[in-house]
Amino acid sequence: MEAAPSPGWLIARQSARFVLRERTVALLSLMFVVLVLVSAWLGWSATSTVNRIYLDAAAFLQAAGQPVPTNPVLDISPLSLMRNMSVYVALIGALSAIVIGNRLIGLDRKAGVLPLIGIRPLGRNSYAAGKIAALTGLILALGAVAGVVAVATFLMLPVITLTGTQWAQLAGFMAVTTLYMGIFGLIGLAAGTWAKSETVGLLLPVTLWLTLTFILPQLTANLNPTAAINPISALATPPDTSFFHGAAVVLGPVSLADAYKFASAALLDYLPQGIASPSFIPPVINLVLATGLAGAIAWRALTRLSMTQGEYNV
Amino acid sequence: MSDAALNSIRLNPTPVRTIAGKDIRDALRDRFILIVTAFLGLAALVALVTGAIALRSDVATYEAAKASLLALGKSADAIKAPEFYPLRLLRGAIEQIEIIGAAIAILIGYRSAASERGRQTLALMLTRPMRRWQFVAGKALAGIGLLAGGLALVLGGLTLLLHLMSGIGLGMDDLLRIAIVWAVAVAYTACFFLVSFILSLHMKQPSHALLVAFAIWLTLVLVAPQIGDTLDPDNQVAGGVFKQLNIAKPDQIQIMKGFATFETVRDGIEQASVTKHFERFTFAVLGIKATYAGMPLGPILIEMLGNLIWIFLTALGLGALALALPLNPDRLAKA
């Protein structure tokens, strides 16, 4: 006779299935996949255009008897073709993760099933572990889709071959990407659990995401919002003033969008020399610490959720 | 409803005013509008202050370099003095309105439609002697009025700060430019308000409508301009591809003639977004784009007329759609 699945596993499986049925989750996940494909095309198109411009410019300079500089494309690592993916993960990937986290708890609360779950022989810890496991599984699936697209792009594009180290760097980038989405998923889960209103549960993490993506980079590096979503412009050196130095020390460790951009740029080989993340904590460690903190917040919110009511206020 | 009652409604616009007034009072009472306006104000303030600090750092660097050259007995003409146009400091704030302002408009649109559904009061309101378009118009007017008020507070505060911070003060021409930007910002954010309002009023579940509206916001505000920006060859190489190849401006134009189709596609992607039209218009009027700095307002407005028309036609088109779509009372209960 087969052993009965653990309560945590049952919660995780049921929650993931319910969330996958949601049309909005499907819509945002589809947008994410489409944008990952677009990012691969953008990288290829932009690089090949620069290459063609160089060929035209070289012919022009030769005809004018001027020296021809080296092709800038040759200085670019093939991995940097994927640089736009870091932007789309920071935009749609993070938003998808927030929605997944929110729906994982929101569906139970809206359906009014919390009191029913509460009377089952199921500990709060099992419920929390099940929800976080479901979130982990769904975010890993999103990360895996992005990874498959990236790998397929490099295998299909002619002339491009990656070394073993570069494949490892790509794997590292996908891991960091999954971690970044996971942070927002956990925050979405915590806010959806804690909030009294469904809208507030969604708006709190979205406001945090807006702040991290568009406001903090301005304080740490004088980066305007549109520059913050350009993979190259986002890696600017901050002005050499005491204000920006102080802001980097205080806000650098919490500026997660900055940490993700710099970690991605380093792993995908497009980080210009002499430019470093504003935080004194290395970007990847920063993201790992943030994941731990977000996980602790989500755990606390889930284990303190009142099972006697739980439904959202209007 | 009898003909007499309908005639009375046609002559008397009170239902529109009543609904708009009630919505504005509700929004102010629950402090939601104040909170989101404060958030936008904070984002814009951060942009203005960090821009001013960076400019001050540029001026200090220039002064130090100039002093060094003069001490060595050389001419200071070799280094370019930083240009100071006070309105240019609004760049970050305009970009925050472009992104966060549009997101706030979506939230106001969602709340405007979802509040009646949540309280189950929509079907009740529609039993009153009024046309359904009057209900929609009242709600839309209230939402756009709240946006206009919030933007006036934010831009007004920034103008005051700029006047005090810049040291040279702002003239009437500067104030006129900011007023024009405010009016266009209201029309721009109204587009997103209406998208969210229409979706929240007509989709089965308002929370799904909010997410779909955010997906549209992501596409129009962030993705489309970002794709256009990324495809710009000059943004692919640090410092710019032509600068790295040491090619002069006239030769750049000559070379880029061979990439006319690519540039048309790139520009087309950008043009598809109302956000890019807003950015082009405001950057030109405020002189943020270098080619328009110091240029009189009249020629700028003539040159930017296409962008202006695009923004206003989008807002008007969405407004007409909101009024034209029939309301389904069966769909207006709490989902």
Q: Is residue A63 part of a domain?
A: no
Q: How far apart are CA A39 and CA A21, in angstroms?
A: 27
Q: What is the DSSP letter of A110?
A: H
pLDDT in tens, B199-218: 998 888 777 888 889 889 98
Q: In whole angstroms, give the CA distance from residue A121 to residue A104.
A: 21
B40 chain-A contacts, CB cut-off 8 A: none
* CB proximity B253 to A under 8 Å: no
Put simply, whether B65 touches A (Cβ < 8 Å) is no
Tracing tokens 């993960």 back to the chain, one arrives at: A89
Burial class (CB within 10 angstroms; exposed 0-12, middle 13-18, buried 19+) of A52: middle
Q: Is residue A285 part of a domain?
A: yes
A108-112, A244-248, B35-39: segment of lowest average pLDDT: A108-112
Residue A294 inside a domain? The answer is: yes
Confidence of residue B13 (pLDDT cuts 50, 70, 90): low
**B123: CB partners within 8 A, 6+ apart:** B329, B332, B333
Q: Is the pLDDT of residue B284 over 90?
A: yes
3-class secondary-structure state, position A215: helix
**Strand ranges inside B60-104, DSSP E:** none
User: Is B119 in CB contact (< 8 Å) with chain A?
Assistant: yes
* Structural domains in chain A (count): 1
pLDDT for B331 equals: 63
Helices vs. strands in chain B: H and E counts, helices first: 16, 0
| Token output for A308 | 């006697």
User: pLDDT, tens digit, for every residue of B63-97?
Assistant: 787 788 778 777 777 777 667 788 888 999 999 99
Contact state of A239 with B57 under an 8 Å Cβ cutoff: yes
Q: What pLDDT does residue B238 have?
A: 64
Closest by CA to A84, choosing from A35, A129, A119, A11, is A35
Q: Is B30 at the interface with chain A, CB within 8 A?
A: no
**Highest mean pLDDT pick, A91-100, A229-238, B59-68, B264-273:** A91-100
Give the whole-angstrom CA distance, residue A254 versus residue B6.
60
User: Model pTM?
Assistant: 0.84
The DSSP H or E segment spanning B327 is none
Show contacts of A169-173: CB within 8 Å, 24+ apart: A169/A79, A169/A267, A169/A268, A169/A269, A170/A79, A170/A82, A170/A267, A170/A268, A171/A147, A172/A267, A173/A79, A173/A82, A173/A86, A173/A263, A173/A264, A173/A267, A173/A268
Task: Calculate the CA A57 to chain-centre distance.
Answer: 38
Query: What are the chain A neighbours of B41 within 8 Å (beta carbons)?
Result: none
Q: Between chains, do B223 and A42 touch, taking CB under 8 Å as contact?
A: no
Integer Cα distance of A98 and A205 in angstroms: 7
Do A279 and A247 meet the contact criterion of CB atoms below 8 Å apart? no
B96 touches chain A (CB under 8 A): yes
- Considering chain A, what is the average pLDDT of its residues? 86
Is residue B10 predicted with pLDDT exceeding 60?
A: no
What value does the mean pLDDT take over residues A68-80?
80
B84: contact with A, CB 8 A cutoff: no
The answer to whether the Cβ–Cβ distance between B103 and A54 falls below 8 Å is: no
Comparing A4 with B92, the larger pLDDT belongs to: B92
Instruction: Decide if B226 and A87 are in contact by the 8 Å CB cutoff.
Output: yes
Nearest residue in B to A50, CA atom: B233
Where residue A170 falls among pLDDT bands split at 50, 70, 90? Answer: very high
Does residue B5 have a pLDDT over 60? no
Q: Is residue A54 part of a domain?
A: no
Query: How far away is chain B from the Cα of A173, in angstroms, using its nearest Cα?
Result: 20
Residue A69 lies in a domain: no
pLDDT bucket at A158, cuts 50 / 70 / 90:
low
Please provide residue A197's backbone torsions phi and psi, each rounded to the nearest 5 degrees.
-115, 145
Q: Of chain B residues 295-324, which have a CB less than 8 A from chain A?
A: none
- The residue range of the domain holding A101 is 7-40+78-303
Q: B294: left (phi > 0), else alpha (psi -120 to 50), else beta?
A: left
Contact residues, chain A, for B242 at CB < 8 Å: 57
Q: Which residue matches tokens 């006129």?
A: B176
Tokens of A1: 């006779």
Tell me the per-residue pLDDT of A199-213, one tens digit each, with 9 for 90 and over: 788 889 999 999 999
Question: pLDDT tens digits for B18-53?
Answer: 888 888 988 888 778 888 999 999 999 999 998 888
Tally of helices (H runs) and strands (E runs) in chain A: 13, 0
Nearest CA to B10 out of B123, B144, B143, B129 is that of B129
pLDDT band per the 50, 70, 90 thresholds, residue B137: very high
Q: How far, in Å, CA of B199 to CA of B189, rounded?
A: 16
Measured between beta carbons, the chain B residues lying within 8 angstroms of A38 are 223, 227
Query: For residue A59, is it within any domain?
Result: no
Nearest to B207 among A49, A198, A215 (CB): A198
What mean pLDDT do residues B150-168 have? 88
DSSP state of A236: P
Decide if A258 is inside a domain: yes
C-alpha–C-alpha distance, residues A60 and A173, integer Å = 39
Which residues of chain A make contact with B264, given a CB cutoff of 8 A?
A: none
> Any bridge partners for residue A197, and if so which?
A313
Three-class DSSP category at A197: strand
Cα A261 from Cα A241, distance rounded (Å): 22
pLDDT of B120:
65
The residue assigned the tokens 């572990």 is: A129
Whether A267 is in a domain gets the answer yes
ipTM above 0.90, yes or no: no
pLDDT at B33: 85
Interface test mutation site (partner A, options B111, B220, B227, max chain A beta carbons within 10 A) = B227
Average pLDDT, chain B: 84
- Above 70 in pLDDT, residue B12? no
Is residue A66 a contact partner of residue B248, using CB atoms and an 8 Å limit?
A: no
Angle between helix axes A23-63 and A7-21 (nearest 10 degrees) is 70
| Residue A34 confidence class, pLDDT cut points 50, 70, 90 | confident
Closest among A301, A64, A298, A314 to A185, alpha carbons compared: A298
Choose from A52-66, A208-222, B321-335 the range with maximum mean pLDDT: A208-222
Of the pLDDT bands very low, low, confident and very high (cuts 50, 70, 90), residue A4 is confident
CB atoms B50 and A219 under 8 Å: yes
